[in-house]
Amino acid sequence: MGLDDPVIITCSISGSLANRKQCPAIPYTPAEYAAEARRAVDEGAAMIHIHARRPDGAPSYEVHDFQAIAKAIVAEVGDVIVNFSTGAVGVPVDKRIAYLRACRPDVAALNMGSMNYAKYSRKRKDFVFKAVFANPFDEIIELLEAMNELGIKPEHECFDVGHVGSLEPLVDMGVLHPPLHVSCVMGVTGGIPPSARNLALMVDNIPGGSHWGVIGISRRQWLLVAAALTLGGSVRVGLEDNFYLPDGIMARSNGDLIAKARQLTEDVGRRAATVAEARRILGVPRRTEVAPPTGVLGA
C-alpha cells in the first residue's frame, strides 16, 4: 500500500463496554445504530463495525439483535460494508457462528490470539477491569472455517506482533486465504503499546499483499491514525475505541470522529475510499451479487 491508495475508514459504532453515562452518543436501539451509521457514512466511512446490544444497552450475542441492527443500518444508508464482531469472553463459539450464519455480514472481525486484556488507571493505581481474553487456535480455526463456508471476509485483529505471526501457519494450513485484511489493535493494556514505531514493526510482519489498518484505543488513537496514514494504511475510529477529538472535546456522534479521520486523511494527501472502492480492495462484493452457498441453513 502507498500514499496513492485510498484509505478505508471504518467506524466502530458502539462497542460492548461503553455506556451513555460515559458518552451520551453511544447507540443502544437499532434506530439509534442506524442514525449513527448515517452520520458516519455521510462523513466518509465505508465500513461499519458492529457489536450488538439489547435496547437497554446491555451487550447481546443473539441473532435477532444482530439482525435488527444490521437491517436498520442498511435500510438507512444503503450500500455499506457491514462488519460483525466475533470477540467475546465466555460466549461459546457456536453462538457466535450462529449470528454469522443467520446474518451473513460482509466482514467479521477475528481476534488472532489470547492475551491479558485490561484497562489501567494511573489515578487509582489499579486496573479498571482485567480479564484473560482467550482466543485459542482451535476457536480461531472454527470461526475461519465458518467464514469460509459463508463467504465472509475475516478481519484479523492483532493486538501484538505475535498475533501477526499467527497468520502464516493458518495460510499454510489452507484455512486462511490471501489476500488478508489485517488490523493492528494498539493501546489495550496487555497488548502492544501504542506508538508509531510499534505500528511500523507490526506492519513489517504482516504477510505481503495484505490490506492493513490501525485500531487505536483511547486518545492516543489520533497519533496512530496519523502514523498509519503516512505508512500507507487504513484507519478505524468510532465510539467503541475513543470518545474524544484530538483537542479533548467529547465527540457528539461517531460522525464527528469520522469527519476528523477524513480530514487527517486529506491533510496527508490521501483520500477516503468509497464503499465501492473498499469492496474492491477487500474483495468483498455486495451480497446481492453473491449466490447463497449450498447446504447452509439460514442463508
> Hey, which bits of 56-174 come out as E strands?
81-84, 107-111, 115-121, 126-133, 153-158
Asked whether residue 294 is domain-assigned, the answer is no
Query: 223: domain CATH number?
Result: 3.20.20.70
4-26: per-residue pLDDT in tens?
789 999 999 999 989 999 999 99
Q: Tell me phi and psi for residue 219, to 5 degrees.
A: -65, -15
Asked whether residue 223 is domain-assigned, the answer is yes
Asked whether residue 297 is domain-assigned, the answer is no
Between CA 58 and CA 94 the distance in angstroms is 20
Between CA 104 and CA 287 the distance in angstroms is 8
Asked whether residue 32 is domain-assigned, the answer is yes
Between CA 226 and CA 263 the distance in angstroms is 11
Place of cell 455499506: 80
Asked whether residue 3 is domain-assigned, the answer is no
30-66: per-residue pLDDT in tens?
999 999 999 999 999 999 999 999 999 999 999 999 9
Residue 209, SS3 per DSSP: coil
Asked whether residue 1 is domain-assigned, the answer is no
Asked whether residue 29 is domain-assigned, the answer is yes
- C-alpha separations of 280 from 40, 47, 143, 247 in Å: 20, 13, 24, 34
pTM above 0.85, yes or no: yes
> Domain range spanning residue 177?
9-283
Residue 119's pLDDT is 86
Asked whether residue 295 is domain-assigned, the answer is no
Least confident of 1-15, 84-98, 204-218, 281-295: 281-295
| Number of domains making up the chain | 1
